[in-house]
Amino acid sequence: MRPRGKRGLAIAGGVVALIIIAGIVAALLFNINAYKSRIETAVSEATGLDVRITGKMGLSFFPFGVSARNIHITSEGAELLSLQSLKIGAKLMPLLRRQLKVTSCELVRPAFTIVKDARGKYNFENGKKELTERPGAAFGLKDLTLSEGALSYLDRKTGEKIEVKGINLVAKNLSVADTSGEIIKGVSFTGSLNCREALRKDLRTENVKASVRADKGVYSLKPLTMDVFGGKGEGDATANEAEADAVYELNLKVSKLDFEKLEESFGIKKVIGGKGDLSASLTVKEKGRRNLMSQLDGTFALRGDNLVTYTMDLDEVLSTYKASQKFHLVDLAAFFVVGPLGTVALKGYRYGEVYHQIQGGKGAITQFISHWTIKNGKADATDCAFATRHNRVALKGKLNLVGERFDNVTVALLDDKGCPILKQTITGSFDNPRPGTVSAVESLAGPFIDLYRKAKRFVQAGKCEVFYNGAVQQPR
C-alpha cells in the first residue's frame, strides 16, 4: 500500500494541475477584447499619454503573454509611437494572485517620433500635469526586442532632423529608475543595435551596427561600425544625458571613402574624385540656450592621394593663369573645407562653378591633407595643404563656426622651402567672403612671365618666411 505522505502529494499535485488547466480553459474562453477600452484607459492614466488599440488583442500560453495589434500613442494630439504589434510576456503564477510580473516585450515595426522643444524638453515627457507632479515609478524587464523600427527626430531649437529606418534592437535587463518623470535619465540596459539606414540632412549612413549600453542616462555605442561616404567607418559614440548639461562624443575613422560621395552627402557638386581616409574626434556640450557649435571641440582630418579634379587643371591655372578677373587664389580654400566643415564655411562660395567657368578640364592632386583642430567652435588649420604634379598650395587660419566668419584665412602658393611665392587672405562672413589683395602681384589675370618676375623679386628681396612645414611634400 502506498504511504499516506506520497498519496497526499499526488492528490495535491493533481489539484494544482486541475487549477492550472481550469485557469487555461478560463483564459481560452476569456474575451480580452471586451476589456480593450478599460485597458486603454488604465494605460493612458498610468502614462499620462493617450493610448489607443485599433487592432485585436489576444492571449498566448507557454510562455504566457498578451498581444495587441495596431497601437497608437499620442501626446497633446501629436503621435509619439505607432506599433504594428506588441507582445508582452508575463509570469503566470503571480497572475493568480492578481499581480502582473512582465518578463519580456517584443515590438514589431514601431515608428517613433521624438521632438525636442526649444526648452530642451522631449515630447514624450509631456504627460498630464497631475502625472508629472509625482515621481515616476521604477520598472524592470528581462528581455526587450525591437524589429524593423523607424525613428524620426526633430530638435526645434537647432532645426536638426534625423531619420532612421530598419532599426533592430535586442536589450537585456532593462530597468527604468524612479527619475521623477525624466525617463531618459533613468534607463539602463545592455544589448545590440543595427539599422539599415540613417539620414541627417544630406548625410546618409547605412548598415549601422553597434553594441549598446545604457547606464542611467549615459548611452554608448561601442564598437560602432557603418558604411558611410562609400567607405567603411568604425569608432564609438556616447551621449551623456545624466546631468543638466548633456555631452555628446563621437570618434570615427572612415577608410577608403569616396570623395565624390563625400561631396554629394553635403550637397556639393562633383569637384574632386578618388579615395581617401577621414578621422574625427568631436565633443559637443549642450549648455542651456547657448549655440551648440560654441561648445564643439575636437579634431577633424581628411587625407587622400592621387585624386582627380573634374572642373579644372590646377597646374594649368597656377602656371599660366588663363583666367578671368573672377578667379582668386583663395578660391582654392574651398578644397580644404570640403565635407563637414564645408556645409557651413562654403555658404557664400559657388564651389566648383568658378573653376568650370574659367578653365574646365581635369587635373590631379597627388597629395592632399586637411587637418583641423576645433576649440569652442573655432576650427584652426593644423595642417592643410595639397600638391599637384608641379605645385604646392597651403592654407593657414581659422574658421569661426559660431560667428560663421573667416578669421585671417590665408592661402599660399609655395616654393620648395615652404615659403610663399604668392599668397592671399580671406575675411568676412561665410555668406559674403572678402578676398584680400594678392601678395607679389596685383592680379592673377596678368601674363605668366610678368607674374614670375614679380614673384622672383618678392623672394629675392628677403621677405620670405616659411609659411608651411607640414606633411605635404613639394613636387619635383
CA-CA distances (angstroms) from residue 108 to 168, 184, 355, 446? 10, 22, 52, 68
Strand-pair partners of 363: 309
Residue by residue, pLDDT tens for the chain (476 residues) are 445 555 555 545 445 555 555 555 555 545 677 778 888 888 888 777 888 989 988 877 667 788 889 999 988 888 899 999 999 887 766 666 656 678 889 999 999 999 988 887 888 776 544 444 444 556 778 899 999 999 999 988 888 899 999 999 999 998 887 655 567 788 899 999 999 999 988 788 999 999 999 998 899 999 999 999 999 999 999 999 888 788 999 999 999 999 888 887 766 667 788 999 999 999 998 876 555 778 889 999 999 999 998 877 888 777 764 344 445 666 677 777 654 455 444 544 444 444 444 456 788 999 999 999 999 989 999 999 999 999 999 999 998 888 888 888 898 889 989 999 888 888 888 777 787 777 654 333 333 334 444 444 444 445 568 999 999 999 97
If residue 153 lies in a helix (H) or strand (E), which one and from where to where?
strand 139-155
What is the rounded CA–CA span in Å between residue 76 and residue 140? 27
Q: Rounded distance, CA 392 to CA 385, Å?
A: 7
Q: Which of 117, 118, 116, 168 is nearest to 144 (CA)?
A: 168
pLDDT for 457 = 47
Contact partners, residue 261, CB within 8 Å, separation at least 6? 229, 230
Nearest 5°: the CA angle 415, 366, 252 is: 115
What is the number of alpha carbons within 13 Å of residue 473 lying toward its C-beta?
A: 4
Give pLDDT, residue 441. Answer: 40
- Residue 3 is predicted with a pLDDT of 54
Q: Are the CB atoms for 50 and 70 separated by under 8 Å? A: no
| Cα–Cα distance list, 232 to 263, 272, 276, 358, 370 (Å) | 16, 19, 11, 36, 20
Residue 217 confidence (pLDDT): 86
CB-CB neighbours of 137 under 10 Å: 10
**Long-range CB contact pairs, 20-24, < 8 A, 24+:** 23/92, 23/96, 24/61
Which long-range contacts (C-beta less than 8 Å, at least 24 apart) are formed by 455-458?
455/421, 455/422, 458/421
Rounded distance between C-alpha atoms, residue 59 and residue 67, angstroms: 6
